[in-house]
Amino acid sequence: MELAIQATKRSALGKQNNKLRKQGILPAVLYGKGKASTALELNLLDFNKAYKEAGENTLIDLTVDGGKPTKVLIQDVSKHYMKDLPIHVDFYEVDLTKKVRSKVPVHFIGTSPAVREFAGILLHGMEEVEVEALPEDLPKNIQVDLSVLKQLNDAIRVSDLVVGENITILSHPEDAVAIIKPPRTMEEIEALDEEIVDEGLPAKEEAEEGEEAGAEAEEGEKGGEEGAEPDKPADAAEGKDDKKG
- Where do the CATH 2.170.120.20 domains begin and end in the chain? 101-185
pLDDT in tens, 162-219: 999 999 999 999 999 999 999 877 776 667 667 666 555 454 444 445 545 454 444 5
| pTM above threshold 0.75 | no
pLDDT at 55: 85
Cα separation, 32 vs 133, whole angstroms: 17
Q: What CATH code is assigned to 3-94?
A: 2.40.240.10
- Where do the CATH 2.40.240.10 domains begin and end in the chain? 3-94
Beta bridge partners of 26: 42
Cα separation, 221 vs 125, whole angstroms: 61
Cα separation, 19 vs 60, whole angstroms: 27
> pLDDT below 50 — which residues of the chain?
201, 203-208, 211, 213, 215-218, 221-245
Spatial CB neighbours of 40, under 8 Å, sequence gap ≥ 6: 7, 8, 9, 10, 27, 28, 29, 30, 64, 91
Select 101-185's CATH number: 3.60.21.10, 2.170.120.20, 3.90.1300.10, 3.40.50.300.
2.170.120.20
